[in-house]
Amino acid sequence: MKQNLALFDLDNTLLAGDSDYNWSVFLIGEGLLDEQTHKARNEQFYLDYKNGNLDIYAFLKFQLQPLSQHPKAFLDELHKKYMANVIRPMMTQKAQALVDQHKANGDLCMVITATNSFVTKPIATAYGIEHLIGTDPEVVNGEFTGGVSGTPSFQQGKVTRLNEWLAAKGQTLADFETSYFYSDSHNDLPLMKLVTNPVAVDADPTLTSYANEHSWPIISLRD
């Protein structure tokens, strides 16, 4: 019997908020980023993302550069505070129940997100999801360089990265009897169109419209 695949976007899908945007807000609050310099740019990048015209490489240069300014060990400790104070309140019971149901069914579960894997791996783990595809920060000698490694998992990049991940396991998307992808964002339409069961979750207006036109399920994971 074929296994099913359950893919979850993270920000504003499993989370009732955006871990990427709020990481910068958190760093400003910790006094590690200059508010005057970073707040307006963070807001603009977030708006560009929602509008579908984000320059992913310009954003990653902005978002990953602060990682290069601190030792990895310091950042790991900082992330624990971020998880406790910012992320945990964004984790909803409905989202956890959905993940748990897929796991109980024996489905292969994965978070696939444009947000960098440093920020998102502990969040996926907190949901009990082993597998993560995120945009990977470049690491040299155990420390972040501020660069990006490989293809950012954004828009069509999610399709590319998923296909690469499956190919490394000797699989393709067609090997799964049923494939789910839960997302809030029209940026994820390239991958949503490829799975057998796309589900719009607390979706933006563009995705909501598309989902209605194509009779996709529309759900909410907000408590």
Compute the C-alpha angle 11/212/194, nearest 5°: 60
Tokens 């996709």, located at residue: 216
Catalytic choice (11, 18, 107, 188): 11
What φ, ψ does residue 76 adopt, rounded to 5°?
-65, -40
Active-site residue, 9 included:
yes
Active-site residue, 184 included:
no
Catalytic choice (9, 20, 107, 188): 9
Q: Provide the residue count of the chain.
A: 223
Q: Which residues are catalytic?
A: 9, 11
